[in-house]
Amino acid sequence: MSKYDGLNPRTELEQTITADLKKAFEKRGFEVKHNGTKDSQATGGLSDIEVWNGQVHFNIEVTKSIKSSADREFLAIIDHLSETKYDNIGKKCFIIYISPETHYRMINAIRDFNTNKKDEKDQKIIPVCFSTFELFVNKLIQSHKDLYTKSQILSLFDEYKNFVDDERVLKIFYTKLFSDDEKLGKEVAIREEEKHQSTIESLIRDLLRLEDNLREELGITHIDAIRNIIFLVFTKLYEEKREFEGKENRFRPESFKRFQEYVGEEKTKKAIEKLFNEIKKDKELESAKVFTQYDVLAEKLDDDFVMNFLIKPFEKYIFYTTKIDGLGAAYEVLGMRTGKDVKAGQFFTPENVVRFMVKLAELDANDLVLDPACGTGRFLIYSMEDMISKVKGRNIDDKIEEIKKKQLFGADYDVNVAKLSKMNMYIHGDGKTNIRDSDGLLIYDFDNKVDVILTNPPLGDQSYQKTSYDADFKLKRMDVIPKKDATQEKINEYNKRLEDTKNKLKEAKDTQNFKLAKKTYATIKFCERKLTELSTQKHEYEVTGKQMKGGALFIGASKHYLKNVRDSSSPLEWRGGKLLIILDEGILNTEEYREIRELIKKYFYIKAIISLSRDTFVPVSDTTTKTSILYAIKKEDSDAAQQEPIFFAHAEKVGIDTRSKICANHLFNSGNDVLSKYFEFKNKVLASYYGLNFSKEKFMKQSFKGGVIDA
């Protein structure tokens, strides 16, 4: 609640804001004028307040109108800007539009206007809600005039492409002007997360409603309805990306009508089909083989349906430049409505868990990152952002392009999910050509090439008796698959038979049963001959059982994919490729998977095990499977024993509760969290070396202390 919310719009609001602007701007060399009186608001022909100096002119437009009633304000404020620019040709002119909260239609109108002015160095509008404006003006009032200069304030308008909602605008103010304010940073993060969660809840409801309408209005099946939703959501994403690049977004009410007229589909109402087909022909999408000839919109789908049930109702959502995974949400609807096995980790991993694992991995800008069970691509998207943020030095653009095109790889055996991942990677900035619709256990060409694996494979049981898994895969490559030594079993059988027969021979001799003795003697010779033959043969093995937990199988594959040496300059136990994987805890603590744990210890140095609450995956997949994050580094020498201690932690809360509401985040960002404790632990481990040798005694003197994370 801002102090401006309770003010009378006619007699107090503009007057109070003017007084605040005077305190903030006049000491910085600006003049401030209210175009009303002390008892009345500004007249209709002028902007409400003006702030200017010799180089810059701000029109301050103030309203208490909310939601759709604010629509009528827009034409007036751009008229004011046009007049201001005409009267101040040599100045940069801008608008600050202040309201209790900015309605999405006003946001969209402002974005359209700003995009149309993309080639101008000024004439942009920034929408600011009351609470953000109060923060902004108070910071300026309370600071020395040399802080928050004109150029810093003008830099806010450079971010016009990201004016998508009040929360994002607040974040822009924070990052551009007030990034040293840690308390504000936490508040910004909380508000952004709250907005994100409420938007996701609303989006899922609207997607379910859209799916109902597709079936009821057009009479198509559940699966076809979801396919069409995915195609339409991607169309919206694609057009938002176009808009961000300075082109027209053709998936908005007025622009879609213009496109319909342009392609001559006013009567036949098939402009949506032409738009989708045009998008499919995008050269980048074609090169990545995102779409096939069979990816078509439903024949019954027409422009009126798309306008009434998608374009208009979904105009309030912005997917591009926000954290909203529109494609992932569409696939979640598929799971909810068709009963598809949308298990935790098969398609979704909670965002905070993904971000935590990426931070834990400490990626380098040169790493090759693989997710062999990539789902909709979240690990790859966040890895790409993290790696790009670390690019420094010369040729930054070339290096960023290399990361996108050559350093991020994913695979998923579900063709439709792989398609979603390609779409997501395209929208988030390339990498799409490196997504394979193939079994992540069979990508042999990655052997000993991968620096980091970040993945959340299917938690449930997965068959290892598929026809695509040949004998070499099951018997030689995958150590994790249970198998028996068929030759040894035969040896054991003949040894037992030999022993039993020798006992019978002794009995026959004792009873002088020469007939039995002769028979048993022949059997003894037969067994001895067979044992001699078997002793010279190569042992043959046979696979036992049919399935095991997916995480165990992917550990077996990761052993091959990861490099033996990723960084030769690191301490011995940190040199190999990194594996960060979410596992069903049954792998880590049941007798059934004891041999898997031995295999992990044989081939990996275990760095950390972070146990997650049973509630972690409920918001995204409605499962209470108990899971843990395993962080391990591949050994160069499988006989080498681990010397370093292992970091253990439990995160009861991960930022989102079972009702998809904001809660504490024990993983990171609280100061007293798992991530900060892990890095404290790691630093003390690394400080406990004498040359290449780890000293347990030295580590104990470091006095690392565990504890309880504050709720």
Q: How far apart are CA 697 and CA 692, in angstroms?
A: 15
Confidence check: pLDDT of 339 > 60: no
The least confident of 61-75, 330-344, 378-392, 415-429 is: 330-344
Residue 60's pLDDT is: 97
Per-residue pLDDT tens for 38-76? 889 998 789 999 999 999 999 999 999 877 777 778 999
Q: Which residues contact 147 (CB under 8 A, 6 or more apart)?
A: none
Q: How far apart are CA 503 and CA 506, in angstroms?
A: 5
Confidence check: pLDDT of 337 > 70: no
Confidence check: pLDDT of 429 > 80: no
Cα 401 from chain centroid (whole Å):
20
> Mean of the per-residue pLDDT values for the chain?
89
Residue 230's pLDDT is: 87
CB 120 within 8 A of CB 94: no
* pLDDT: which is higher, 486 or 16: 16
Residue 72's pLDDT is: 78
CB 97 within 8 A of CB 128: yes
Q: Which residues contact 312 (CB under 8 A, 6 or more apart)?
A: 253
Confidence check: pLDDT of 347 > 60: no
Nearest to 651 by CA among 678, 633, 632, 681: 678
Q: How far apart are CA 394 and CA 401, in angstroms?
A: 13
Token readout for 90 is: 């040599």
Average pLDDT over residues 127-138: 96
Cα 521 from chain centroid (whole Å):
72
Confidence check: pLDDT of 432 > 80: no
Residue 341's pLDDT is: 44
Token readout for 181 is: 């304010």
Confidence check: pLDDT of 669 > 60: yes
Residue 603's pLDDT is: 97
CB 413 within 8 A of CB 430: no
Per-residue pLDDT tens for 629-645? 999 999 999 999 999 99
Phi, psi (rounded to 5 degrees) for 484 = -120, 155
Average pLDDT over residues 126-141: 96
User: What is the sign, positive or negative, of the torsion defined by CA atoms of 160, 166, 172, 173?
Assistant: positive
Token readout for 272 is: 């949506």
What's the one-letter identity of residue 645? P
CB 194 within 8 A of CB 662: yes
Torsion, Cα 596 597 603 604, to 10 degrees, reads 140
Q: Which residues contact 445 (CB under 8 A, 6 or more apart)?
A: none
Q: How far apart are CA 630 and CA 647, in angstroms?
A: 10
Average pLDDT over residues 19-45: 94
Cα 342 from chain centroid (whole Å):
17
Residue 345's pLDDT is: 35
Nearest to 93 by CA among 60, 58, 47, 61: 58
Residue 338's pLDDT is: 53
Q: What is the pTM of this model?
A: 0.79
620: pLDDT confidence band, cut at 50, 70 and 90? low
Residue 284's pLDDT is: 85
Token readout for 677 is: 């404790």
How many CB atoms within 10 Å of residue 519? 15
Average pLDDT over residues 585-607: 95
Q: How far apart are CA 319 and CA 239, in angstroms?
A: 10
Per-residue pLDDT tens for 178-207? 999 988 988 888 888 778 778 877 888 888
Token readout for 32 is: 């401030």
Confidence check: pLDDT of 277 > 70: yes
Average pLDDT over residues 224-248: 89
**Which residues are paired to 462 by β-bridges?**
548
Per-residue pLDDT tens for 500-553? 888 888 888 888 887 888 888 899 999 999 899 888 888 888 899 999 999 999
Residue 486's pLDDT is: 81
Q: How far apart are CA 56 and CA 708, in angstroms?
A: 53
Q: Which residues contact 380 (CB under 8 A, 6 or more apart)?
A: 369, 371, 374, 408, 409, 410, 421, 425, 431, 435
Q: How far apart are CA 536 and CA 530, in angstroms?
A: 10
Residue 430's pLDDT is: 63
Average pLDDT over residues 333-361: 68
The least confident of 70-74, 434-438, 486-490, 672-676 is: 70-74
Residue 201's pLDDT is: 79
Residue 340's pLDDT is: 47
Residue 617's pLDDT is: 72
Residue 134's pLDDT is: 96
Q: How far apart are CA 541 and CA 478, in angstroms?
A: 13
Which residue reads 């096995």 in tokens? Answer: 341
DSSP 427-469: HTTS-GGGEESS-TT--GGGTTTBSEEEE----SEEES--TTS
Token readout for 393 is: 């030095």
